[in-house]
């Protein structure tokens, strides 16, 4: 072939290759086309194109005329100063012309491979990017010892040039894909890629298999970010990603980062329920373990929502929505747990939305009132206090339990005004009662953190004329977990003013004895979940007994919540619990009902009896409200 014919052919090849690149033809096919054309132009040449990875290892890309066994033997070969023609060319970023493989020292370790299949010469050139990085090699082998002609050098130069364009373009494309479909911080698939993965998995789901989506959201990520900075936050997310990846470990589960502190897993399994539960509980447990970041050890939990489907039974958006609802439920229940989607979750969210809309007008429209539940000194059966419990009668929904609406009120930032109203109303009512019994008022965690709490309480006491020692503020353990100095000061300040403090729902939260040392409590209220188990569960009974003793040793009163039966009452009395509250004594009463009860007790000068519940109920039935 003459130089000019070859030149025209090379230009044509170059044009075709550029077109292939522009049309997104896969790199391997482009490389094949270059090899085949080069072999046609350079008679007797056997062409090979290798790529070089970031670690300097060689990988075959195209060598249509070489046996596969030879290519696979090269795969993974490390570039070096004596690594055959290609490995050496990649190492020095310079062309290497081994005129005789049989004698060339750079082939010392590899020559037998080549000689065995009749290869005697190999000239290899590095393929470089514009900035000089070696991304591949282009080689001509010959079956006799020989060096290149000028024309062959020209062919090689052209081929190296188009190879550089094709490989650089392929790298850029891979990088774009990485950015578009993978999360830069953790390297996990991102939301878009996760959706694509789920879609593909659903389309290929074997019959009888189930696809589970697990949505994961960290519980205290914001706190870590706020206290330790964003770098620490990033480290934490990366470690979470690693833990999740380590847990799944098999091909049927994929992990993705959906954004922020949200992750998602796709699980294809035979038994959606038991496999789903197993994975979800492993995730919750793994994220519960502490993380070491920036020389600090932090604990963040994870909340998890699981939704499942079989092939083609549900639109993707519905599946994701369900996982989200389940996650939301787990979060709302305090986190560090998982939930499977259940249809009633949807109704609950709807209810919450509509309640949210109605709450503002409820506050303005006076739909709230207080109920007062008697608290009895067990030893004397005297009514010594009541707890004020907030009630909301919704115009169409009827009574809404405080456990449902108080979290919404908090979310809406309305707990301040509502809490103020409760405090004022309870103190106002108590000041007018015929007996000087105490009144308990619940403070939510957010109320506790509001500045001006102490002044507000003192002001209300002054205005209503209620003596401070008749007000008993109930706070839960979770409200004190932050242990911030302001809360601590506020509670000590209130206590110094004579206000009483109770630790509410003891046993349900962290039950940290340290809290009892840090805050000036007068009373521990034992949560009703333990009281319910009296006579049924030895562990619960041991706990109740221990708390009563502990309170006694610290000079505090103990109160049992939710006393419903005579045997619970008797057991508590025997174990010297100071006070009891519950339906066995009395349900929560209206202000008018309570007044009547107090008047009756006062006039007859008889204490309330354990079976007062019956008396009061009878009283309610005969007295018009
Ligand atoms: P809590 O402070 O532990 O209140 C005791 C709850 O136990 C009340 O539920 C009461 O009605 C219920 N209870 C009393 N005796 C029995 C019994 O024998 N058996 C059973 N099963 N339950 C009994 P309620 O009124 O639904 O209040 C739930 C929670 O809502 C309260 O728990 C308290 O944490 C919160 N809450 C109520 N009123 C207020 C308020 O004004 N402000 C704030 N921040 N929270 C409030
Ligand atoms: Mg309470
Ligand atoms: Mg309680």
Whether residue 192 is predicted with pLDDT greater than 90 in this model: the reply is yes
Q: Which residue has the higher pLDDT, 407 or 102?
A: 102
Query: Is the minimum distance from the CB of 225 to ligand 1 under 6 angstroms?
Result: no
Query: Is the minimum distance from the CB of 373 to ligand 1 under 6 angstroms?
Result: yes
Query: Is the minimum distance from the CB of 381 to ligand 1 under 6 angstroms?
Result: no
Q: Which residues contact 227 (CB under 8 A, 6 or more apart)?
A: none
Whether residue 510 is predicted with pLDDT greater than 70 in this model: the reply is no
Q: 412 pLDDT band (50/70/90 cuts)?
A: confident
CA contacts within 13 A on the Cβ side of 83: 21
CA atoms of 488 and 515, how far apart (whole Å): 10
Ligand in closest contact with the CA of 531: 1
Q: How far is the CA of 198 from the centre of ligand 2 (A)?
A: 46
Q: How far is the CA of 127 from the centre of ligand 3 (A)?
A: 74
- Residue 366 is predicted with a pLDDT of 85
Query: Is the minimum distance from the CB of 442 to ligand 1 under 6 angstroms?
Result: yes
Query: Is the minimum distance from the CB of 477 to ligand 1 under 6 angstroms?
Result: no
Q: How far is the CA of 480 from the centre of ligand 2 (A)?
A: 15
Query: Could you tell me how many residues make up the chain?
Result: 625
CA atoms of 54 and 62, how far apart (whole Å): 19
203: left (phi over 0), alpha (psi -120 to 50) or beta: alpha
Return the CATH class of domain 3-179.
alpha beta
Ligand 1: which of 402, 584, 613 to mutate, most ligand atoms within 8 Å of CB?
402
> Residue 273, SS3?
helix
- Residue 625 is predicted with a pLDDT of 39
When pLDDT is averaged across residues 513-534 and rounded to a whole number, the result is 91
Two tokens at 570? 């008797």
- Closest ligand 1 atom to residue 525 Cα is 3
Ligand 1: which of 374, 389, 561, 581 to mutate, most ligand atoms within 8 Å of CB?
389
Ligand in closest contact with the CA of 373: 1
For 279-313, the pLDDT digits (tens) are: 999 999 999 999 998 878 888 899 999 999 987 77
CA atoms of 123 and 154, how far apart (whole Å): 13
- Residue 607 is predicted with a pLDDT of 53
Instruction: Indicate the range of 140-154, 393-407, 580-594 predicted with least confidence.
Output: 393-407
- Residue 485 is predicted with a pLDDT of 79
Return the CATH class of domain 191-341.
alpha beta
> Percentage of the chain with pLDDT > 90?
70
- Residue 621 is predicted with a pLDDT of 47
- Closest ligand 1 atom to residue 426 Cα is 41
- Residue 118 is predicted with a pLDDT of 95
Q: How far is the CA of 387 from the centre of ligand 2 (A)?
A: 7
Whether residue 14 is predicted with pLDDT greater than 70 in this model: the reply is yes
Q: 397 pLDDT band (50/70/90 cuts)?
A: confident
- Residue 610 is predicted with a pLDDT of 46
Q: Over the Cα atoms of the chain, what is R_g?
A: 38
Q: 616 pLDDT band (50/70/90 cuts)?
A: very low
Query: Is the minimum distance from the CB of 440 to ligand 1 under 6 angstroms?
Result: no
When pLDDT is averaged across residues 104-131 and rounded to a whole number, the result is 95
Q: Which of 150, 168, 194, 133 is CA-nearest to residue 27?
A: 168
Query: Is the minimum distance from the CB of 183 to ligand 1 under 6 angstroms?
Result: no
- Residue 511 is predicted with a pLDDT of 63
Whether residue 615 is predicted with pLDDT greater than 50 in this model: the reply is no
Nearest CA to ligand 1 atom 42: 442
Q: How far is the CA of 474 from the centre of ligand 2 (A)?
A: 6
Give exposure, 340-362, as e/b (b: 16+ Cβ within 10 Å): bbeeebeeeeeebeebeebbeeb
Q: 101 pLDDT band (50/70/90 cuts)?
A: very high
Ligand in closest contact with the CA of 588: 1
Q: Which of 151, 93, 139 is CA-nearest to residue 114?
A: 139
Q: Which residue has the higher pLDDT, 616 or 570?
A: 570
Q: 223 pLDDT band (50/70/90 cuts)?
A: confident
Q: Which residue has the higher pLDDT, 482 or 128?
A: 128
Q: How far is the CA of 579 from the centre of ligand 2 (A)?
A: 14
- The DSSP code for 26 is -
When pLDDT is averaged across residues 182-193 and rounded to a whole number, the result is 94
Query: Is the minimum distance from the CB of 445 to ligand 1 under 6 angstroms?
Result: no
Query: Is the minimum distance from the CB of 391 to ligand 1 under 6 angstroms?
Result: no
Contact status, residue 327 vs residue 304, Cβ threshold 8 Å: yes
Each domain of the chain, given as residue ranges in start order, spans 3-179, 191-341, 369-588
Strands (E), 507-568: 523-526, 557-560
Report long-range pairs for 29-34 (Cβ below 8 Å, ≥24 apart). Answer: 30/166, 31/61, 31/62, 31/163, 31/166, 32/62, 32/64, 34/62, 34/159, 34/162, 34/163, 34/166
Q: What distances in angstroms separate CA 1 from CA 6, 9, 41, 292, 383, one per listed residue?
A: 6, 10, 7, 68, 114
CA atoms of 144 and 204, how far apart (whole Å): 52
The structure's pTM equals 0.60
Q: How far is the CA of 536 from the centre of ligand 2 (A)?
A: 24
H or E stretch including 345?
A: helix 344-364
Query: Is the minimum distance from the CB of 279 to ligand 1 under 6 angstroms?
Result: no
Query: Is the minimum distance from the CB of 561 to ligand 1 under 6 angstroms?
Result: yes
- Closest ligand 1 atom to residue 389 Cα is 38
Whether residue 609 is predicted with pLDDT greater than 70 in this model: the reply is no
Give exposure, 578-617, as e/b (b: 16+ Cβ within 10 Å): bbbbbebbbebbebebbbbbbeebeeeeeebebebbeebe
Contact status, residue 307 vs residue 323, Cβ threshold 8 Å: yes
- The DSSP code for 346 is H
Q: 396 pLDDT band (50/70/90 cuts)?
A: confident
Whether residue 473 is predicted with pLDDT greater than 70 in this model: the reply is yes
CA atoms of 353 and 76, how far apart (whole Å): 59
For 527-546, the pLDDT digits (tens) are: 999 999 999 999 999 999 99
| Mean predicted lDDT score pLDDT of the chain | 90
- Residue 481 is predicted with a pLDDT of 65
CATH code, 369-588: 3.20.20.450
For 239-294, the pLDDT digits (tens) are: 999 999 999 876 689 999 999 999 999 999 988 889 999 999 999 999 999 999 88
- Residue 623 is predicted with a pLDDT of 46
Nearest CA to ligand 1 atom 4: 389
Q: How far is the CA of 390 from the centre of ligand 1 (A)?
A: 8
């Amino acid at each position: 072939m003459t130089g000019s014919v070859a030149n025209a052919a090379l230009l044509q090849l170059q044009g075709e290759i550029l077109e292939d690149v522009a049309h997104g033809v896969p790199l391997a096919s482009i490389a094949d086309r270059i090899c085949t054309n080069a072999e046609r132009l350079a008679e007797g040449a056997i062409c090979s194109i290798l790529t070089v990875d970031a670690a300097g290892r060689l990988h075959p890309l195209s060598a249509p005329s070489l046996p596969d066994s030879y290519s696979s033997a090269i795969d993974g070969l490390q570039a070096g100063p004596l690594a055959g023609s290609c490995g050496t060319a990649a190492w020095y970023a310079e062309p290497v012309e081994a005129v005789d493989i049989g004698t060339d020292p750079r082939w010392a370790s590899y020559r037998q491979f080549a000689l065995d299949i009749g290869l005697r010469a190999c000239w290899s050139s590095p393929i470089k990017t514009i900035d000089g990085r070696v991304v591949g090699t282009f080689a001509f082998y010959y079956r006799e010892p020989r060096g290149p002609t000028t024309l062959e050098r020209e062919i090689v130069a052209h081929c190296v040039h188009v190879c550089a364009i094709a490989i650089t373009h392929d790298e850029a494309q891979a990088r774009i894909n990485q950015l578009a479909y993978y999360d830069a911080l953790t390297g996990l698939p991102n939301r878009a890629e996760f959706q694509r993965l789920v879609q593909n998995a659903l389309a290929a789901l074997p019959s009888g298999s189930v696809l589970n989506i697990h949505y994961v959201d960290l519980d205290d990520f914001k706190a870590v970010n706020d206290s330790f900075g964003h770098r620490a936050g990033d480290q934490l997310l990366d470690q979470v990603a690693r833990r999740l990846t380590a847990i799944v470990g098999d091909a049927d589960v994929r992990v993705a980062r959906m954004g922020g502190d949200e992750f998602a897993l796709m699980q294809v399994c035979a038994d959606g329920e038991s496999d789903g539960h197993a994975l979800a509980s492993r995730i919750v447990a793994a994220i519960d373990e502490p993380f070491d970041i920036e020389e600090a050890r932090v604990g963040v939990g994870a909340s998890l929502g699981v939704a499942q489907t079989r092939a083609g039974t549900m639109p993707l958006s519905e599946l994701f929505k369900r996982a989200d609802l389940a996650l939301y439920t787990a979060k709302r229940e305090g986190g560090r747990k998982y939930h499977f989607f259940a249809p009633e979750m949807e109704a609950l969210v709807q209810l919450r939305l509509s309640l949210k809309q109605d709450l503002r007008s409820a506050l303005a429209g006076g739909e709230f009132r207080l109920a007062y539940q008697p608290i009895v000194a067990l030893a004397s059966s005297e009514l010594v206090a009541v707890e004020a419990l907030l009630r909301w009668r919704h115009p169409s929904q009827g009574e809404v339990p405080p456990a449902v609406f108080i979290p919404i009120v908090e979310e809406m930032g309305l707990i301040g005004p509502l809490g103020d109203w409760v405090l004022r109303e309870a103190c106002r009512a108590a000041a007018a009662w015929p007996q000087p019994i105490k009144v308990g008022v619940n403070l939510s965690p957010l109320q506790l953190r509001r500045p001006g709490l102490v002044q507000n309480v003192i002001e209300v006491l002054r205005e209503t004329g209620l003596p401070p020692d008749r007000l008993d503020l109930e706070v839960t353990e979770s409200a004190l977990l932050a242990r911030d100095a302001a809360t601590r000061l506020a509670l000590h300040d209130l206590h110094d003013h004579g206000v009483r403090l109770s630790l509410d729902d003891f046993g349900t939260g962290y039950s940290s004895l340290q809290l009892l040392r840090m805050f000036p409590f007068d009373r521990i209220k034992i949560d009703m979940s333990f009281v319910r188990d009296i006579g049924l569960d030895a562990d619960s009974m041991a706990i109740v007994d221990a708390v009563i003793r502990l309170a006694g040793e610290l000079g505090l009163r103990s109160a049992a919540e939710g006393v419903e039966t005579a045997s619970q009452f008797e057991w508590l009395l025997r174990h010297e619990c100071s006070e009891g509250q519950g339906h066995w004594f009395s349900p929560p009463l209206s202000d008018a009902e309570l007044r009547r009860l107090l008047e009756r007790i006062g006039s007859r000068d008889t204490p309330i009896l354990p079976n007062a519940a019956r008396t009061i109920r009878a009283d309610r039935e005969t007295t018009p409200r």
